[in-house]
Amino acid sequence: VTLQSPSGPAGRAFSFVGGTDGTWRITRSSAVIGAALPEASRVDVIESMVASPPPGALWVLRGVTSNERYVTRPERQLLVARQPPLGRPEAACAALIPIRKSASWWDLTQDERREILETRSEHIKIGLRYLPAVARRLHHSRDLGEPFDFITWFEYSPEHAMRFEELVGHLRASEEWKYVDREVDVRLVRGAL
C-alpha cells in the first residue's frame, strides 16, 4: 500500500525497505551509535511513501527530500557545480546511513545549528572535497515521526571506497556528531546476486 507521494516544491518521498528484495545487496550493516537495524540481505529503494511494510520487509525507513536549511548562496553554487547525479553506472557502491540527532540539537536555534554544522564542523566544506566522487541525497524524516531524523544515501565507485571511509571518519570526529544519538551504517552493492 502506498500513499500519494509529495512532489514538486514539497519534495519527493522515498522508502528504503530492508528485506530480501531490491536492486541493492547489503554487504555490511553496523550500529555506529544506538540500536542496530534487524539483519536484512537487500534494500529496495521505492520512490513513494510506503504506508505499511511490504511482505518480507524487516524494516522500512521513510523520508522526503526538502529545501536546504543551512547552505549559503556561495556554497550552493559550489555544490551545484560539482555534485554528480545518482545512478551513475560506475557507482556500484552505496551507503545508507540513517541518523537521529539529540533533543539538545533540536533545542538549538537555526543560527546556532549552522554555527556547529559548518563554522565549527565544516560539514559542507569537507563534503565538497569528495565531489564529484560521491553522489548524495538527503531525506528528512523527523517530522514524519520516524525513528531517525534523516536518511542519508550516497553512491560511489569501488575505486573511491577508501575516500568515502575517510569522509565519514572526518564527519564522525566533528562537533556536529556529538549531537548524533543514533546512527546505523548500511553498505550496499548494486545488483549483484
Task: List contacts with ligand HEM (CB under 6 A).
Answer: 68-71, 79, 97, 99, 101, 123-124, 127-128, 130-131, 134, 136, 138, 150, 152, 154, 167-168, 171
User: Least Å distance between CB 97 and ligand HEM?
Assistant: 5
Q: Which of 79, 93, 95, 98 is nearest to 160 (CA)?
A: 93
Question: Which residue, 42 or 82, has its beta carbon nearer to ligand HEM?
Answer: 82
d(CA 92, CA 68): 27
User: Least Å distance between CB 139 and ligand HEM?
Assistant: 10
Question: Which residue, 1 or 107, has its beta carbon nearer to ligand HEM?
Answer: 107
- The three-state secondary structure class of 91 is coil
Helix (H) or strand (E) holding 130: none
Question: Which residue, 26 or 97, has its beta carbon nearer to ligand HEM?
Answer: 97
User: Least Å distance between CB 117 and ligand HEM?
Assistant: 6
